[in-house]
Amino acid sequence: MKPSLRALAASFIALTATSAFAQAIRPLAQEHVVVYESPDPAGIYCYTPGIARLDSGRLVATMDRGGRGLKKGESNGKIFTSDDRGKTWTHRAG
């Protein structure tokens, strides 16, 4: 590692170790709702999540699935909607 990169890395480590910096880090969501969970995480994985808010306030969430656990002809994508600001979700397609 070049001396300038070493100094930068040491500065970053020192900065992250300070209590003021550590106190500023908080989880993104204190409360959350699981929209979809793979029935077989080792064989069916989820990726490319998306979410949009329509003018009506409805939330539309999408995601793709892949892996060897999917049955032939089974849909790779899923679509969910929420009309209560994400508290509950309805599976619409996929």
% of residues, the chain, pLDDT over 70:
72
Q: What is the DSSP letter of 28?
A: S
Tokens 């003018």 label which residue? 55
User: What is the Cα–Cα distance from 39 to 44, expressed in whole angstroms?
Assistant: 7
Determine the average pLDDT of the residues in 29-34.
Answer: 80
14-27 per-position pLDDT tens digit: 444 444 555 666 76
Phi, psi dihedrals of residue 12, rounded to the nearest 5°: -65, -45
User: Is the pLDDT reported for residue 7 higher than 60?
Assistant: no
User: Is the pLDDT reported for residue 9 higher than 70?
Assistant: no
CA triple 62-64-66, angle to 5 deg: 165
pLDDT at 14: 47
Whole-model pTM: value is 0.64
Phi, psi dihedrals of residue 78, rounded to the nearest 5°: -135, 145
